[in-house]
Chains A and B, each alone.
Chain A
Amino acid sequence: MSVDAALVTRCLAGEPDAARALVERFQSDVLAVCRRLLNNQHDAEDAAQETFARVFRSLARWDGTRPLKPWVIGIAVNRCRTALGKRAKRPELADYLHDAPDTRPADDSAETAREIRAAVDALRPEYREVFVLFHEQNLPYEEIAEAVGRPVGTVKTWLHRARLEVLDRLRARGVVPAEPQPEPR
């Protein structure tokens, strides 16, 4: 029995420490996905909390022969989709109310990271999901397919298109360094 399966078995048996162990095992990944897909700390925590509520509610239906992480991440992605749907229906707050001030140093690498993030955020939702899950959460194609509920081929197609869009947006934003000119003779 895998570590995940043993943990789930303990949770289903009602062991008090098992639920905490499961939350602590996945909370960082779940919060990271929620933050990246929602771009709002408060919404991300709400979505992460709802994710774990759903996880425990559906734990008996988890297929023990499959990895647990993509299943949990898939629930988080679904919660984020729902949150984004609700957000689209409510009046938009001013941008400065959304995020805490960025305290990171304003060096080149931070600037590049912000540009990449802006390029990823501009992607359509399904492209952004697979891009974040692959490049930021380092999930393999198979687990991303599991998480988003799509075939691996579809995930690859979405990811390839997402990458090209990001590359082109980086070019358009001037993040790409100028092509070195040949030395004048």
Chain B
Amino acid sequence: MSLLPHPFDTSEPAPPECAPTLARVQQALDGEPIDWTADEHAARCPVCRERLRALAVLLGAFSEPAAAEPVPAGFADRVLAALQSERPAPRRSFARYTAWAALAAALLVGAYFAFGTSRPTEVPTPPKPNDLVKAEPETAPAPRERPVRVGDAVAQAGQSLLDAPKPLADSVAVAPKLFDALAGPIAWPAAKLMGADVLEPARQAVLELPTAARDALEPVTGTATKAYARFLRDLGAVKPNS
């Protein structure tokens, strides 16, 4: 039975007395000439003697110059061909990067129109305490798309009426005058019943309306003009300041 340590057990360091011999082994494998006769430890240690014999085998194998590694026929040609086929790669890469950049730009533009011009529907969440602390002063709200408003529509219609032919504009001008006449010093029986200022709020309301809105009331006021004219006619003898 061999008393030598397990050959693959390199976890344990060699005994300290073997260290000088192992150092010479390394020097020999580095190519330095070694005088082994001066190594007294190797003469005593069976493990180191066996190592020296293995060293001789190894040095014998390495002493022969390694033959040049044979190169497969056409190897350089294949390498160069592969390099040639690789050369268009930058152009492919450039095209790929350009495509990605274009896609990114399109996404940015899309995102701008999708989210930048209108607010997304947000689910209101209760503010966190930190949010209250970090909240910045409210700035001017972003412009929002205005809903359709009746007043604006009426104003637009009024503007259209103003832009219309003259007869319509003339009839519009009647309305304030009518209310002026009704609210003015008209001596008619009904005035006593209704009071002198009964029409004043209506007159003021019409006067305070924007011009366009007031003009939009032309169909109404025109009807009112006719109604009151008919009413005054029916009264017969009643005349202003009479």
Taking the complex as formed, is A118 at the interface, i.e. its CB lies under 8 A from any CB of chain B? no
Taking the complex as formed, is A176 at the interface, i.e. its CB lies under 8 A from any CB of chain B? yes
- Within the complex, the shortest CB–CB distance from A114 to chain B, in Å, comes to 10
Chain B binding surface, main DSSP class = helix
Closest to A138 in B: B66
Chain B: how many interface residues by the 8 Å CB criterion? 34
Taking the complex as formed, is B25 at the interface, i.e. its CB lies under 8 A from any CB of chain A? yes
Closest to B5 in A: A168
Taking the complex as formed, is A19 at the interface, i.e. its CB lies under 8 A from any CB of chain B? yes
Taking the complex as formed, is B206 at the interface, i.e. its CB lies under 8 A from any CB of chain A? no
Cα A99 to Cα B137 with chains together (Å) = 77
- Within the complex, the shortest CB–CB distance from A41 to chain B, in Å, comes to 8
Cα A161 to Cα B25 with chains together (Å) = 12
Cα A177 to Cα B75 with chains together (Å) = 41
Set A52, A109, A160: member contacting B79, Cβ < 8 A? A52
Cα A61 to Cα B48 with chains together (Å) = 47
A167 touches B26 (CB 8 A): no
List the count of A-B residue pairs having beta carbons below 8 Å apart: 101
Stretch among A20-28, A64-72, A74-82 lining the B interface: A20-28
A179 touches B61 (CB 8 A): no
A170 touches B57 (CB 8 A): yes
Stretch among B80-88, B112-120, B147-155 lining the A interface: B80-88
Residues of B within 8 A of A138 (CB): 66
Residues of B within 8 A of A56 (CB): 83
Shortest beta-carbon contacts, A-B, top 8: A172-B7, A32-B69, A167-B54, A168-B7, A170-B54, A23-B76, A176-B53, A176-B54
Set A52, A112, A164: member contacting B57, Cβ < 8 A? A112
Residues of B within 8 A of A31 (CB): 69, 71-72, 75
B80 touches A167 (CB 8 A): no
A112 touches B50 (CB 8 A): no
Cα A136 to Cα B29 with chains together (Å) = 12
Which parts of A156-185 form the interface with B (CB within 8 Å)?
Answer: 160-161, 163-172, 175-177, 179
Residues of B within 8 A of A98 (CB): none
Residues of A within 8 A of B231 (CB): none
Contacts A136-B66, A161-B10; A23 near B80 (Cβ below 8 A): yes
Residues of A within 8 A of B58 (CB): 116, 163, 166-167, 170
